[in-house]
Structure 1
Amino acid sequence: MKLRRTRSLVGYWHEGDFVLEDYLSAKSSDEDEDNAVAVDEDALRLLQRFEDWTDPESVLDALSGYDPASVRTAIDALADAGLLHTPEQAGQEDLLASEWAAWSEEARFFHFGTKDAVYIGDDAEHRAAATAVALETGPPPPVFKSYPDAPRVRLPRAFLPLRRDFDEVLLARRTHREFTAEPVTLRQLATTLHYTFGPMYFVDAREYGTLMMRTSPGGGARHEIEAYVGVLNVEGVAPGLYHYNVEQHALELIDPEFRAGHVDRLGFGQQMAVTAGFVVFMTALVSRATYKYRHPRTLRMILLDAGHLAQTFALVSTATGLGPFQTAAFRDSEAEAALGVDGIAETALYLIGAGRPAGPVDGHPIDMSVAASPR
């Protein structure tokens, strides 16, 4: 029977050992399992012999200087550990190689490495244990981020009434790519930021302290997403890059020189971002989420939270008469440098924005024809 090195392996150093992990292997969603296997140089050399389908007997012949019994034992151990597969076991990894061929190993490792997380649910014992682990690390991270020494623009709380019918707003929501030169009003900006990122209520989360609740769902009410606003054409606000202080409902000035040219570079020249009234870079303060949630699946939760907020932003800005857009196409590291964040403790996730729409606002496709006949 021929064997082949498992294709879905990732290697890394862990606590002094070099380990291999098969991210495609089945995991339990009832209890945490570590499927990483420590290997040494001899094991790695042996795995190289099985780069393609290989008969173990041929490997024994090629390693004539070694005791055949010890080589067989080592091969069996690698197979038992899931590092060598039979043709019957290789179906999933071959399917992965075919269906995910356009994506890198990093994407595969992220997706499958965060599958089948253990959820403690309502089990009181497990919840108490998880809480104890969190509290042992110290007090929870602050609910709000602020730049206390930065100049501030205090936004009005005279919010625009959002009285359009909900179905009308849903149907009118479109991604706008062209904007007029008319500035966004201060009340439109204030209303959109408040109803997207601002706290609506506060809750007593017992051991986890006081937490805020937004109009969008956030895993465990951790609300790790921060908003940095690039003001380009807003009535009454000087252009620049600001942090939105959700507690004070204020813009904190980070870079007074930030202009459309910076957005042009950071957003790969997308004109919708350059000509918008304002853009928003969403970042994640990782510690807010990981304080409570320790499993790597939490990263999925953070990305989902960013998506929730982006949709709320699109609906609220539409309701105020603006045209929203969103894009994942931005220069991550350069954007983080512009924001003054390190990309690790706080990392950029999403670029959204809005302006005065130049195209139709009735919800019909803006730059495509409505499908009217079979194709």
Structure 2
Amino acid sequence: MKLRRTRSLVGYWHEGDFVLEDYLAAKSSDVDEDNAVVVDRQTLALLEEFEDWIDLESVAERLPGIDPVSVRDAAEALVEAGLLRTPEAAEREDLLAAEWANWSQEARFFHFGTKDAVYIGDDLEHRREAAAVALAAGPPPAIFKSYPDAPRVRLPRAFLPLREDFTEVLLARRTHRIFREEAVSLRQLSTVLHFAFAPMYFVDAVEYGTLQMRTSPGGGARHEIECYVGVLDVEGVAPGLYHYNGEQHSLELIDASFDQSTVDRLSFGQEMAINAGFVCFLTALVKRAAYKYRHPRTLRMIMLDAGHLGQTFDLVSTAAGLGPFQTAAFRDSEVEAALGLDGITETALYLLGAGRPAGPTDGHPIDMRVAAQPT
């Protein structure tokens, strides 16, 4: 029988032990399971012999000082533990290697490592148990972040009336890359920030305290996403980098030197970001979500929440007469440094922005031809 070392293994130290985890292993969505296996140096050395398909007799010949029977017993135990594969069991990992060839192990580990999470559903007893675990760790994180000592720009609450027909707004939404040299109005900026990122209502979440409700869905109403605004060309607001305080509907100044050259560097020179009226860096305050949701799948939820906010931002910007854009291309660590974040407790996720559109705003493709010819 020929065997090969499992290709979907990730190794790491945990509480003094070195463990291997097969992220491709089947998991239950009914009961939390730990498929990490503690291994020692001898086990690692034996696994090295199975870099490619090889039969047990050949492995035993390479290890003359070890009893062939013990080699066979150890190999069978490693197959049982999921660290070695038979040809039949390797078909799924070979498919993964072929289909995901352009993506690294990090992407594979993230996706498959967060699959099949256990969901407690509407079971009241389980919900109370989960709340008790959370509360035992301390009080819930604050639902608002603020910079109380920062200079503040109080935004007007004279919001633009978003009365465009909803269908027309949906059809008009396009990613704009070229903007006119015309400032975004203060009311436009205020309207977009309010309807995209500010709370609309508050709810009593019992054990978890008061939570905010935005126009975008957020897992468990945790709303862990924060918005930082890079003002470039907005009437009545000095250029600079600000934190949007949704509780007070204000901008808190972080860096007055923030300008187009900064955006140029942070966004890899993307013209749409450099020439926009303003840009928004979305970040996640991890503890706000992890306080309640302790499974790694929560990281997926956070990414989805950022996407929800991005779409709402686009639609509100469109309804307010602006041309929005969104991009995942930015220098993560440099953005976090510019925002004064450690990248761990709070981390950058998304770059949005808007300006006065220079191209068509009727929803037709801006810089590509309409596909009219059959292919």
Whether TM-score is above 0.5 comes out as yes
Q: How many angstroms does 1:63 deviate by?
A: 1.3
- The residue number in structure 2 matching 1:34 is 34
- Following the alignment from structure 2 to structure 1, what is the Cα–Cα distance between the partners of residues 113 and 19? 15
Q: Is residue 2:322 matched to residue 1:322?
A: yes
The amino acid across from 1:111 in the alignment is: H
Q: Is residue 2:245 matched to residue 1:242?
A: no
- Following the alignment from structure 2 to structure 1, what is the Cα–Cα distance between the partners of residues 176 and 141? 37
Structure 1 vs Structure 2 CA RMSD: 0.5
Q: Deviations over 1:119-143 (max 9, x none)?
A: 0001122111111110110000000
Q: Deviations over 1:283-309 (max 9, x none)?
A: 000000000000000000000000000
Q: How many angstroms does 1:311 deviate by?
A: 0.2
Structure 1 stretch displaced more, 119-128 or 164-173? 119-128
- Following the alignment from structure 1 to structure 2, what is the Cα–Cα distance between the partners of residues 171 and 109? 37
- Following the alignment from structure 1 to structure 2, what is the Cα–Cα distance between the partners of residues 135 and 62? 56
- Following the alignment from structure 1 to structure 2, what is the Cα–Cα distance between the partners of residues 56 and 358? 68
- The residue number in structure 2 matching 1:296 is 296
| Within-5 A mapping of 1:87-106 | 87-106=87-106
SS at the partner of 1:305? helix
- The residue number in structure 2 matching 1:133 is 133
Q: Confirm or deny: 8 A CA contact 2:56 2:71 kept in the other structure.
A: no
| Within-5 A mapping of 1:349-360 | 349-360=349-360
Q: Is residue 2:198 matched to residue 1:202?
A: no
Q: How many angstroms does 1:191 deviate by?
A: 0.2
- Following the alignment from structure 2 to structure 1, what is the Cα–Cα distance between the partners of residues 167 and 20? 51
- Following the alignment from structure 1 to structure 2, what is the Cα–Cα distance between the partners of residues 105 and 61? 32
- Following the alignment from structure 1 to structure 2, what is the Cα–Cα distance between the partners of residues 54 and 125? 51
Q: Is residue 2:177 matched to residue 1:214?
A: no
- Following the alignment from structure 2 to structure 1, what is the Cα–Cα distance between the partners of residues 360 and 369? 13
- Following the alignment from structure 1 to structure 2, what is the Cα–Cα distance between the partners of residues 179 and 69? 73
- The residue number in structure 2 matching 1:343 is 343
Q: Deviations over 1:230-256 (max 9, x none)?
A: 000000000000000000000000000
- Following the alignment from structure 1 to structure 2, what is the Cα–Cα distance between the partners of residues 62 and 238? 72
- Following the alignment from structure 1 to structure 2, what is the Cα–Cα distance between the partners of residues 303 and 90? 31
- The residue number in structure 2 matching 1:285 is 285
Give the TM-score, by structure 1 length.
0.99
- The residue number in structure 1 matching 2:263 is 263
- The residue number in structure 2 matching 1:233 is 233
| Within-5 A mapping of 1:34-113 | 34-113=34-113
Q: How many angstroms does 1:71 deviate by?
A: 1.9
SS at the partner of 2:25? coil
Structure 1 stretch displaced more, 72-81 or 148-157? 72-81
- The residue number in structure 2 matching 1:121 is 121
- Following the alignment from structure 2 to structure 1, what is the Cα–Cα distance between the partners of residues 91 and 71? 26
Percent identity at matched positions? 78
Q: Is residue 2:252 matched to residue 1:252?
A: yes
SS at the partner of 1:65? coil
4+ residue segments displaced more than 3 Å: none
The amino acid across from 1:126 in the alignment is: H
- The residue number in structure 1 matching 2:171 is 171
SS at the partner of 2:368? coil
Corresponding pairs, count:
375
Q: How many angstroms does 1:69 deviate by?
A: 2.4
Unaligned runs of 5+ in 2: none
- Following the alignment from structure 1 to structure 2, what is the Cα–Cα distance between the partners of residues 124 and 200? 28
- The residue number in structure 2 matching 1:155 is 155
SS at the partner of 2:130? helix
The amino acid across from 1:247 in the alignment is: E
SS at the partner of 2:54? coil
